[in-house]
Amino acid sequence: MNVLCVIPARGGSRRAPMKHVRDLCGKPLIAYTVEMALKSRLCNKVVVSTDNDEIGAVAGRYGAEVIMRPAELARDTSPFDDALRHALQAEEEAGGKTFDIVVALQANVPIRKDGEIDEAVQKLVSREDGTAVATAYAIDQRPEWMKILDPESGLIRPFIPSAHAFRMQDLPTLYLLDGAVIVLRRGPLLAAAGVLKVHAYMGDRVALLVHDERYATEIDHEQDFLKAEFYMKYQAALEASL
């Protein structure tokens, strides 16, 4: 079984410019993802897909192989899975071997559980009919209770008009996929090229690996650096107390 780990990290972030190489608790943000990927026992190769030389240099310094992504695959509107397919095909052409599984790690998620990458790979391998495994966490903000603001009247109306439950225990548990770890089979990933549908690249038989919300800390805005720093210090304190 050949497993390729791909870390997409484009340079054009508008909300937090060059976030992937900015310092977070003494290291560049992307370093946390690269280091965790390299700790995996099941990933045969770890590559960073980027369009930016500085990001590539930092990723290389921490031990990842770098694949330069063409500009047309690194726009704001470029699908996430296009970067995965480009990296997969580039690696297969360069190395002359086929990868059965692709592990996708978002570079702006700095906190991951030790061993969770391999746990997700093993979970997919154990399910012959599965197409993907993705990390997720249970949400407590309910869409059934959310509102839409009518621009004409200035009044609110239900986002889901048919929802009537008013107690949390009467509602099903909902999960949000967070992008910390996504493990994919090669076939569905390649078959989803050009399919503009949410999570189409995962296929239609996706299993979840549920974890605590802190492992889904995603840095998209300036204030997210403060949130990540808090969780890192909290985790360090927990480990020190053991």
Give the mean pLDDT of 50-63. Answer: 96
What's the confidence (pLDDT) of residue 240?
84
Asked if residue 138 lies in contact with residue 210, where contact means CB atoms within 8 angstroms, the answer is yes
Give the mean pLDDT of 139-146. Answer: 93
What's the confidence (pLDDT) of residue 39?
98
What's the confidence (pLDDT) of residue 71?
87
Is residue 41 domain-shared with residue 126, that is, in the same domain? yes
Is residue 145 domain-shared with residue 210, that is, in the same domain? no
The answer to whether residue 102 scores a pLDDT higher than 80 is yes
What's the confidence (pLDDT) of residue 239?
81
User: By C-alpha distance, which of 178, 180, 184 is closest to 121?
Assistant: 184
88 versus 238: which is more confidently predicted?
A: 88
The answer to whether residue 14 scores a pLDDT higher than 80 is no
Euclidean distance between CA atoms 101 and 119, whole angstroms: 14
The answer to whether residue 236 scores a pLDDT higher than 90 is no
What's the confidence (pLDDT) of residue 185?
98
Is residue 27 domain-shared with residue 68, that is, in the same domain? yes
Is residue 61 domain-shared with residue 88, that is, in the same domain? yes
Is residue 183 domain-shared with residue 216, that is, in the same domain? yes
Is residue 75 domain-shared with residue 121, that is, in the same domain? yes
What's the confidence (pLDDT) of residue 120?
98
Euclidean distance between CA atoms 59 and 48, whole angstroms: 7
Is residue 100 domain-shared with residue 74, that is, in the same domain? yes
Chain mean pLDDT for the chain? 94
Considering its fold, how many domains does the chain have in total? Answer: 2
Among 157, 173, 189, give the residue marking a domain's end.
Answer: 173
Q: Which two tokens stand for residue 189?
A: 């990933």
Is residue 48 domain-shared with residue 99, that is, in the same domain? yes
What's the confidence (pLDDT) of residue 16?
81
Is residue 30 domain-shared with residue 146, that is, in the same domain? no
What's the confidence (pLDDT) of residue 235?
85
The answer to whether residue 138 scores a pLDDT higher than 80 is yes
Euclidean distance between CA atoms 37 and 104, whole angstroms: 10
Containing domain of residue 12, as a range? 3-136+175-241
Euclidean distance between CA atoms 121 and 153, whole angstroms: 51
What's the confidence (pLDDT) of residue 242?
75
What's the confidence (pLDDT) of residue 13?
75
Is residue 112 domain-shared with residue 145, that is, in the same domain? no
What's the confidence (pLDDT) of residue 31?
98
Is residue 169 domain-shared with residue 78, that is, in the same domain? no
The CATH number of whichever domain residue 24 belongs to comes to: 3.90.550.10
